[in-house]
A and B are shown apart, each in its own frame.
Chain A
Amino acid sequence: MKQSEFLNVVMPFKDKLYRLAKRLLVSREEAEDATQEILMKLWSKNETMTEYKNVEAFAMTMTKNFCLDRLKSKQAGNLKLVHSNYSDETTSLQRQLEAEDSVQWMERIMQELPEQQKMVLQLRDVEQYEFEEICELMDMKPTAVRVALSRARKTVREELIKKHSYGIG
């Protein structure tokens, strides 16, 4: 496989890999490194890549495993929890402040979910994967996926309602 063909295959889903990596690793730099690593691994396998029927699912699974390993390893001790990844161009407009704030709030709520729920929510609600695809990626049974997803969504809802009724932020 030529480099250009490889890029054509990889281009459509490289952002998804990055977003999943960022969801798990939080820091943008870490996520970028992880994505780069995954893409380079894929490139080194480009001879056999045509054998995989679904390169995207394969790459997503690789990313998931890579990030989980990363979190488990000692290096994770040096992981910075960066919350300031959002652009700092906040104007004085109250509305923008609120919007910015709710994004940060959501980000924090999702960070607190267990890894599995985090991933399922990311795959479904951000990337809009079908249930079968999520089962394949996560190596989970369909019912388990639904349970995890339902729990994740309900947790997010509870947190949001809590925040809303307190009027914090």
Chain B
Amino acid sequence: MALDNIEKLLEKYFEANTTVAEEEKLREYFAQESVPAHLEPYKPMFNYFSNAKEERFTKQVPLKTRSNLYKWISVAAVAVLTFGIYFGNEYQERRKAEYAYQETKKAFELLAENFGRGTEKVAYLKEFEEAKQKIYNNN
């Protein structure tokens, strides 16, 4: 590129009036081996900018997806817990009912036994009644 053109661009450049494309031209120009002596000081500037763009970020970034996994594990745990409490309760109630049934049965048996004893005693009463009838009939 013509020298005076470069000088004009440089002037614009330092007033911050150049476009990105024009700045690219400057970088290209200063990338060459030799430039006129009075432009020599600018060389490191433009070369530096080109070099600086080469720097790369090489570190690995650990992107966590574990938070998601934890979420699902907690959901599962809550589900298991609710089921456990629900069915556990039902089982407890069934056991209680069974116990109550057995107790009632025992109580009824006791009652029945005592009733039996009662009827035995009533049998004596029948004897008494019969004797009373005999006496009445004889009269």
Residues of A within 8 A of B (CB): 3, 6, 14-15, 17-19, 22, 32, 35-36, 39-40, 43, 99, 102-103, 105-107, 122, 124-128, 130, 145-147, 149-150, 153-154, 156-157, 160-161, 163-164
0/1 interface trace, chain B 30-61, chain A, CB 8 Å (1 if under) = 00000000001111110111011101110101
State how many angstroms separate the Cβ of B109 from the closest Cβ of chain A.
69
Q: Is the CB of B49 within 8 A of A164?
A: no
B48 and A153: CB pair below 8 A? no
B63 contacts A by Cβ under 8 Å: yes
Query: Least Cβ distance of B21 to chain A in Å?
Result: 10
B16 contacts A149, C-beta separation under 8 Å? yes
CB closest chain-B residue, reference A145:
B16
Q: In the complex, what residue of chain B is closest to A21 when comparing beta carbons?
A: B57
A32, B48: Cβ atoms under 8 Å? no
The answer to whether B45 touches A18 (Cβ under 8 A) is: no
Contact: A19 with B52, CB < 8 Å? yes
Q: B108 at interface (Cβ–Cβ under 8 A)?
A: no
The chain B residues found within 8 Å of chain A, CB to CB, are 13-17, 20, 23-24, 40-45, 47-49, 51-53, 55-57, 59, 61-65
Q: Which residues of B contact A22 (CB under 8 A)?
A: 55
A86 CB, nearest partner CB in chain B, Å: 10
Q: Are A17 and B57 in contact (CB under 8 A)?
A: yes
Chain B residues with CB below 8 A from A106, complex form = 44-45, 48
Measured between beta carbons, the chain B residues less than 8 angstroms from A128 are 20, 23-24
User: A18 near B44 (CB under 8 angstroms)?
Assistant: no
Q: Which B residues touch A146, using CB under 8 A?
A: 16-17
**Residues B53 and A157 in contact, CB atoms below 8 Å apart:** no
- Whether B24 and A39, one on each chain, are in contact in the complex, defined by CB atoms closer than 8 angstroms, is no
Contact B14 A150 (CB under 8 A): yes
Q: How far is the CB of A164 from chain B (nearest CB, A)?
A: 4
Across the interface, name the chain B residue whose C-beta is closest to A151. B16
**Is B55 a contact partner of A40 (Cβ separation < 8 A)?**
no
Q: List the 8 closest A-B pairs by CB distance, nearest first.
A: A18-B57, A102-B44, A106-B48, A150-B16, A164-B41, A149-B16, A146-B16, A160-B41
Contact present for B16 and A3 (CB under 8 Å): no
Contact B45 A103 (CB under 8 A): no
Q: Is the CB of B42 within 8 A of A103?
A: no
Q: Which residue of A lies closest to B44 (CB)?
A: A102
Told that A32-B59, A160-B45 touch, could you supply 18 new A-B pairs with CB distance under 8 A?
A14-B57, A39-B61, A40-B63, A40-B64, A43-B63, A102-B47, A102-B48, A106-B44, A106-B45, A107-B48, A125-B23, A128-B20, A150-B14, A153-B13, A154-B14, A156-B45, A157-B41, A160-B44
The residue of chain A having its C-beta at the shortest distance from the C-beta of B56 within the complex is A15
